Copies of this chain bind each other. A is one copy, B any other.
């Protein structure tokens, strides 16, 4: 069950590290020079999430995005209290620093936060 180090994984890990924000499967494919199999990419991403290396965001377009958050943003890969912003124009998903406050009736146990704001990001808005 112990993981092995492969070129494909390293490449994708670097892609995610270089990106500030989250990448979708498509986004990763687009950035890859060497063509990796669709399935391999999915499996690598799922392994990253399993290992707590990356976290998975399901955006409001129903697709999965993956991100490696900076130290101060990821304390627990299961519960991310920070925000994500998806730009409907450039389709980029960013991790936005910020606190989220909410209150739930008693008895609820939250395992995962998924907070997506969507609209126009500052870059696209400026154009």
Interface residues of A (CB under 8 A from B): 58-64, 83, 85, 88, 96, 98-123, 125-126
Contact = CB atoms under 8 A, between A and B. Distances in A.
B109 A98 contact: no
B107 A122 contact: yes
A29 to B, nearest CB: 19
A107 B119 contact: no
Nearest to A123: B107
Contact of A112 (B106, B107, B112, B118): B118
A114 B100 CA distance: 13
Number of identical protomers: 2
Contacts of A107: 121-123, 125-126
B98 A125 contact: no
A24 to B, nearest CB: 12
A106 B114 CA distance: 22
Contacts of A100: 100-102, 115
A105 B122 contact: yes
B111 A88 contact: yes
Contacts of A119: 108-112
B112 A60 contact: yes
B88 A108 contact: no
B104 A85 contact: yes
